[in-house]
Amino acid sequence: MRLSKNLVLIGLGIIIGIGVVLSGKVGADATSSDKYCDQSCHAHPDATQTWIRSPHYTTKSGVVVHCVDCHLPAGGAEYYTEKVRLGSIDIYGKLFKDLTKVNWQSMQTLAQARSFTYDSACIRCHANLFSVGLSHKGVDAHLHYQRSKDKVRCINCHLHTGHFRGQATGEDVDEGAEQDQNLDNSFPSAPQGFQNYTEVIPGSAAKIRMVAIPGGTFEMGSPESEPYRRADEGPLHKVKISPFWMERNEVTWREYEAYLLQRGNTGRNRDVASAGKTDAVTGPSPPYGSPDQGWGRGSRPAITMTFHAATMYCQWLSEVTGKKYRLPTEAEWEYVARAGSSTAYFFPGSPSSFTNQRWLNHLFGVKTAPLADYAWYQGDSADQTHHGGATKPNPWGVVDMLGNVREFCLDWYDADAYSNVADGATDPRGPDSGKEHVVRGGSYHSDAADLRSAARDHTREEDWLMTDPQSPKSIWWYSDVTDVGFRVVREK
């Protein structure tokens, strides 16, 4: 009798278990349809429309790729755990967030996309990475992927495949042109003595506005009391700077393309460092993909070139103009960024009020004025570059010293560099050697704390070339950083 009861209980358990599994399967299938994703979960305003316009909506073979085909793992327990995680995030956003205030542009970045796309999903459909008709670049890229699976993911190179975001035009409406026209009187083409002037690049219509920076002495670095100060910003030390000229804005695509057109070549990574070709006669090889990220060029700052390419541009510019142009030293850069100030920024305000790193600011709101008047940064940039001249200049007439793009400096980076500079040194140039170079100023996706005048950063050559499939890797274009550019200076 007891055996019969046990068998009945076991049978009921099996039936209930099967029912739960089937119910779960039915529920999972019902909540995995494109219609459900669009109407019940998705908070993004145009996710469906950009998907429909993408090459993944209807493929050449007639197969339609659905939301869950890309945004959930290929199978197993991870499929369900990730379904719960991502579904919860979407539902929370739709119910509790003000969708009009969400920065959707920032959601399209690689850092965000890595959290909701999966290599297993890509490989499920693209099992053959070397299909018939794959281009030479594609073969190189997929070989690099196979060798570097611990570092490189499919999304690194195919960020915009699943959702159509438009095509780069190479040149867009020049929103900075009006501001530039208003500067013609104060930036003469034939200056007399030490004053502002306009350099017209020979053989092009590109113009460079150079600001005369008076010499002086300032305290370089930050005091220990400055909020969000890092150890490499000290100790404070006095530095004397000789007069020089600095470019009013970051080097624009219009300027950089004059170099590409005159000295670019059609070879593939032709001038490797080992070849010993370091003169300005040579020029960049073509980049992989669109170096402007589809945002447009014109008067936007040029980006994705390497430190080597920036120095070659300076050498070329010196050659074609007959003047000595180069990258600014770190001391020159900070001297201009401060523009006579000794506080965190050259305008009133504390990093504690502007930063997103402080939890109180999330509760009571982040202050944006006057920072947003002077800088394109995380709080106002929509996560992309902007035309030079669209922000207010600092007291010395230079724009975008903070934000828009980070800028190369001439110095090698050393966390202890300031300890090795004599107090009162004139025109210091940092260490004699190193592995990485100094980068300054913060960018369009930097937090306000990283826009402080004393904040230091540096290149990361290995990381910034991680997905470059070439061997040797390009010395002209970075494959994995989109917010670094530069501006030039000229010695008096």
Which CATH number do you get for residue 368?
3.90.1580.10
Residue 131 shares a structural domain with residue 219: no
CA distances from 5 to 2, 18, 73 (A): 5, 20, 42
Whole-prediction pTM? 0.81
Helix axis angle, 253-263 relative to 307-321, nearest 10°? 80
Q: What would the pLDDT profile of 81-132 be if each residue is shown by its tens digit? A: 877 788 777 777 777 777 666 666 666 676 677 778 888 888 888 888 777 7
Phi, psi of 152 (to 5 degrees): -110, 135
Residue 118 shares a structural domain with residue 255: no
Q: Which of 162-171, 301-310, 456-465 has the lowest mean pLDDT?
A: 162-171
Cis before 431? omega within 30? no
Residue 219 shares a structural domain with residue 367: yes
- When comparing pLDDT for 160 and 393, which is higher? 393
Question: Which residue in the block uniquely carries the two structure tokens 């755990």?
Answer: 81
How many separate domains does the chain show?
A: 2
- Identify the band that residue 247 occupies on the pLDDT scale cut at 50, 70 and 90: very high
Whether 377 is in a domain gets the answer yes
Whether 8 is in a domain gets the answer no
Q: What would the pLDDT profile of 292-301 be if each residue is shown by its tens digit? A: 988 999 999 9
pLDDT of the residue at 430: 95
Whether 56 is in a domain gets the answer yes
The residue from 157, 190, 222 where one domain ends is 157
pLDDT of the residue at 268: 42
CA dihedral 441→446→448→453, nearest 10 degrees, is: -10
Residue 338 shares a structural domain with residue 475: yes
DSSP 427-444: S----S--SSEEEES--T
The mean of the pLDDT values for the chain is: 84
Residue 338 shares a structural domain with residue 460: yes
Residue 342 shares a structural domain with residue 389: yes
Question: Which residue in the block uniquely carries the two structure tokens 């600014």?
Answer: 328
- Beta strand segments in 276-385, E: 325-326
Residue 293 shares a structural domain with residue 429: yes
Residue 339 pLDDT greater than 50, yes or no: yes
Whether 205 is in a domain gets the answer yes
Residue 149 shares a structural domain with residue 211: no
- CB neighbour list of residue 34: distance below 8 Å, 6 or more residues apart: 48, 66, 67
Q: Which of 167-181, 331-345, 455-469, 477-491 has the lowest mean pLDDT?
A: 167-181
pLDDT of the residue at 278: 39
Residue 55 shares a structural domain with residue 188: no
Cis before 214? omega within 30? no
Residue 424 structural domain:
177-491
Residue 363 shares a structural domain with residue 448: yes
Question: Which residue in the block uniquely carries the two structure tokens 């600092």?
Answer: 394
Residue 112 shares a structural domain with residue 42: yes
Give the residues across from 440 on adjacent strands. Answer: 407, 456
Whether 138 is in a domain gets the answer yes
For residues 410 and 398, give the distance between their C-alpha atoms in angstroms, rounded to a whole number.
Answer: 19
Whether 163 is in a domain gets the answer no
Residues 395, 335: contact at Cβ < 8 Å? no
Residue 135 shares a structural domain with residue 239: no
pLDDT of the residue at 93: 72
For residues 472 and 482, give the distance between their C-alpha atoms in angstroms, rounded to a whole number.
Answer: 21
Whether 165 is in a domain gets the answer no
Whether 112 is in a domain gets the answer yes
Q: Of how many residues is the chain composed?
A: 492
